[in-house]
Chains A and B, each alone.
Chain A
Amino acid sequence: MRLHCPICGERDRREFYYQGAAVMLERPGPDAGAAAWDDYLHLRDNTAGDLDELWSHDAGCGAWLRVTRNVSTHEIKTVVLAREIKR
């Protein structure tokens, strides 16, 4: 599997660190309550189709990427710099 880093171009999967579902971009506020934090930290849709996820280009530019990937076929749909989503 290869990911297209918007900064570095197409690179081997081994250059990237996987964080998981991109829920981390939707961090609840400190007073959001236990249910919201449980949802954020633990509960997942865990879809078998297209998933938004966070990857870091650790062995490259170090940027955080939001990758939309089909987790059954491993087809990469889109790659966007996380900083452009979460300013």
Chain B
Amino acid sequence: MRFSGLKVLTEGLTGNKGWGPHWRSPEPKSEYDIVLIGGGGHGLATAHYLAKVHGLTNVAVLEKGYLGGGNVGRNTTIVRANYMLPGNSEFYSHSLKLWEGLEEDLNYNVMHSQRGIINLVHSDGQRDAFVRRANSMCGQGDDGAILDRAGVEKLLPFLDFDQTRFPIYGGLYHRRGGTARHDAVAWGFARSASDRGVDLIQQCEVTGIDVVNGVVKGVQTTKGPIRAKKVGMIAAGRSSQVAAMAGLRLPIESHVLQAFVTEGLKPCLDHVVTFGMGHFYISQSDKGGLVFGGDLDMYASYAARGNLPLVEHVAEAAMTLMPVIGKAKMLRSWGGVMDMSPDGSFIIDKTEIEGLFVNTGWCYGGFKATPASGHTFAHLLATGNPHPTTVRHRLDRFRTGRGLMDEEATGSQHNLH
């Protein structure tokens, strides 16, 4: 399926009857070189890079529901590289660079919009911390600038700068940050992987992982057994259940994170704005809805919906930051299931079972990582060695205590991130 201006015009004039599917829907073969469990953004990205970078196309992506039906369809679409700690810093820098070339790479409009992200500052201490972070971002080769109050006022005149609780003193401005169209990212990766020969198999739930003498041999599925030389587990939101099929326990607790969107409004918010002190962030989609979210519901949950106290908390933060939002009607809310790791950073690694690889622990930041997660996981699957940007993201770092990446400096403990 290809798009062109002429095709859009002729289809528009002839009832839009000539559009075909984006990807093939094959029946599974009995054996593949690599089977990926999970057809979300990261799984589809892995398939794309396996095929494109490593020339590996005897690959299947198994998805129990439909492609892109998990967290890649349930997020707030923010793309950024404003991390500070070694490990995360170079990884997200790598990811942002992949984003910047993604539409050409996929020949697909993912509506990547580098509209800039502004993290608001409310105290001298917070400004100092953001100056340090901005320096780290620049040192990594990315961008970060400090705005004073007048600088923020010029860009975001409707914020309540003089609120008594958290007056706004300025902000950290990350110009290359922004948003992308989340579904299109999944679709673009899927089309590319399918066109290159990867089998994308939907409605195919993995029910068992076959391990013989510590070596993975394949998977059992609702569409029959499939042998595989290598298996990649990449099922955010169900990571622990998938790993349990291989007898593994992961350092993961799953929580729900809510997000909200208002009715469509005329363009009013040009950037992504984060109000960390209120646990609140917001942007405006290209369709016009204000998309915003807050904190975790703060207890373990697999329900892809949230609780009302958090709705109230987020609405209060929204009104505190930008009272103008009170005139907009909230259209809907949703929840995504977050695989929380003890140190708040992700895991891309081998497991103790030969041929079985794991990609998990994205906490509430998996969307911006989509290209690099796929790129580096594909590298690990293809070569057996971690990509240089994920050498620190080991599965055993919690046991050994070496290489923890505790971005929020709260401690490597489950309920603190």
Task: Mark A7-20 against chain B: 1 for CB-CB distance below 8 A, else 0.
Answer: 00000111000111
User: Which residues 293-314 in B have Cβ within 8 Å of A in the complex?
Assistant: 298-303, 307, 309
Chain B residues, Cβ within 8 Å of A43? 249-251
Number of interface residues of A (CB under 8 A): 26
0 or 1 for each of A67-86: is its CB under 8 Å from B? (1 = yes):
00001111000000000000
On whether A34 and B399 interact (CB within 8 A), knowing A42-B342, A44-B414, the answer reads yes
Partner of B398, one of A38, A46, A72, A74: A38
State which of B250, B251, B303, B399 has its C-beta within 8 Å of the C-beta of A72: B303
In the complex, A45 has a CB within 8 A of chain B? yes
A41 touches B398 (CB 8 A): yes
The size of the chain B interface, using a CB distance under 8 A, is: 26
Q: Is the CB of A44 within 8 A of B251?
A: yes
The answer, yes or no, to whether B254 is at the interface (CB within 8 Å) is yes
Q: Is B385 an interface residue (CB 8 A)?
A: no
Contact of B251 among A1, A12, A42, A51 (CB under 8 A): A42
B114-162 residues at the A interface, CB under 8 angstroms: none
A21 beta carbon closer than 8 Å to chain B: yes
Is residue A32 contacting chain B, with contact meaning CB distance below 8 A?
no
Q: Which residues of B contact A21 (CB under 8 A)?
A: 253, 300, 414
Flag if B252 contacts A1 (CB, 8 Å): no
**Which residues of A have CB within 8 Å of B250?**
43-44, 46
Task: Enumerate chain A residues within 8 angstroms of B413, measured Cβ to Cβ.
Answer: 41
Given contacts A42-B398, A43-B249, A45-B249, contact A74 B342 (CB under 8 A): no
Known pairs A41-B413, A71-B301, A72-B303 / 10 extra A-B pairs, C-beta < 8 Å? A13-B309, A19-B415, A20-B414, A41-B342, A43-B249, A43-B250, A45-B249, A46-B252, A46-B300, A71-B300
